[in-house]
Amino acid sequence: MELSHRITHLTGGGSDGWDVFYRARRMIAAGECVTELTIGEHDIRTHPAILDAMHAAAKAGHTGYAMVPGSDSLRDAVAARVQARTGVPTTRDNVLVTPGGQAALFAAHHAVCDEGDTALYIDPYYATYPGTIRGVGALPRPVMARPENAFQPDPAEIDAAAEGATSLLINSPNNPTGVVYSRRTIDGIAQVCRDRDLWLISDEVYDTQVWEGEHISPRALPGMTARTLVVGSMSKSHAMTGSRCGWIVGPDEAIAHLITLATHTTYGVPGYIQDAAVFALEQGAPLEEEVAAPFRRRRALAREILAAQNTVVPVPSQGAMYLMLDIRETGLDGEGFANALLDAHRIAVMPGESFGAAAAGHVRVAMTIDDDAFGRALRTLCDFAAGLAGSRPPTKLRT
């Protein structure tokens, strides 16, 4: 029997750069001790108080069908949070609750792209982006954010690629680079969207993980509220990855359109999960900071370690739970380096190539293990790179 092309073609074919990851997983399954710095998931679990709220909600009977758009209380809580963070008036009619950010990305593209439309996205990208776009029948068109521009996308390059496009997908703070888009970048992107009449899909799932500078939501810029769909999630901000709870914030007509889609796809998010999300959001910034704190600490540690060597060049990043490291001094590409590191030291990192062409010659390190083990693994990575590059052991301070 034939299966649908829409799904068989989702990943675009060919090596997707995830071989190192699967190899590390096989080694672990075979009983080897591998230090995993691959996946973007916290090493802490969901806060017990959130679990208590979830349990209480389930015991209170919130286990039946939930409202498809999301419960009034969660939509209100998300609207209040977004309004407080951006100043843009936002009500529950601007919010659709989704089963996580990934479902929100898929639904947002479904809402604005018809079959055969071109959807722009920035390379390097979160691994699912091109497949998400293909999944709604649209054509993914990448725009490079280049290492020589510190991985800030260039609005002029987006403009040059925008002919005939319907939408643009951006992500700041960025996975995989950790870069937070500057005001200049966000202003330039907004200008291109207005000039080219593009929908902007702004993936802001790391908005609570900003270590330096500020997160600017483009929905708040002039003329952007009517053309921006913001994707948010409880996964990263509250260590609720397994609860599958996220949202889309956008114009009310777009949300009404998306509710029709949700009625025919997800049929909403479990009520007890939504109640737990309301409880979590009510805890405000202190809980978000507690969840983000380990990454803030490890980033500071990484800066010290990276400053004390001169082979690996860190991408100047200000947010998210990742470090992107330029390892071109070693003479290897990202995949070659990641494979060699796994063989030599049983440390698994992601090749930059897993996230698109722009990050070739880099590796992404997830800061998702305890501080001591993380520090040790990063020092080993740097020493290994120095050895490969034939340079002397680390001495020189990078300024």
Q: Which helix (H) or strand (E) holds 382?
A: helix 371-389
Calpha distance 285→68 (Å, rounded)? 28
Instruction: Say if CB 311 and CB 379 are below 8 A apart.
Output: no
Paired residues of 83 in beta bridges = none
Going residue by residue from 23 to 42, which x/- string records binding to ligand PLP, judged by CB under 6 A? -----------------x--
Under 8 Å between Cβ of 364 and 355: yes
Question: In the bound complex, what is the minimum distance in angstroms from residue 369's beta carbon to ligand PLP?
Answer: 17
Q: Which one of 69, 70, 100, 361 is in contact with ligand PLP (CB under 6 A)?
A: 100
Q: Which residue has the CB atom at the shortest distance from ligand PLP?
A: 101
Chosen residue from 46, 102, 228, 237 binding ligand PLP by CB under 6 A: 102
Which amino acid is present at 272?
A: Y
Q: Residues, the chain, total?
A: 399
- Bridge-based pairing state of the strands 165-171 and 347-348: unpaired
Which position among 38, 166, 235, 368 is part of the footprint of ligand PLP (CB under 6 A)?
235
Which amino acid makes up residue 201? I
Using the structure block, give the residue that is written with the tokens 């990484």: 302
Q: Which stretch binds ligand PLP (CB under 6 A): 26-34, 79-87, 98-106, 192-200?
A: 98-106
Name which of 291 and 305 has its Cβ closer to ligand PLP: 291
Q: CA–CA separation, 58 vs 54, rounded Å?
A: 6
Residue from the set 202, 208, 233, 330 that interacts with ligand PLP by CB under 6 A: 233
Nearer Cβ to ligand PLP (113/231) = 231
x/- mask, ligand PLP, residues 114-153, rule CB under 6 A, reads ------------x---------------------------
Which residues face 231 on adjacent strands? 203, 248
**Any idea what DSSP says for residue 394?**
S
User: Could you say which DSSP state residue 358 is in?
Assistant: G
Using the contact rule CB under 6 A, the part of the chain among 87-95, 96-104, 146-154, 194-202 near ligand PLP is 96-104
Shortest separation between residue 101's beta carbon and ligand PLP, angstroms: 3
Q: By CB under 6 A, name the binding residues for ligand PLP.
A: 40, 100-102, 126, 171, 175, 203, 205, 233, 235, 241, 246
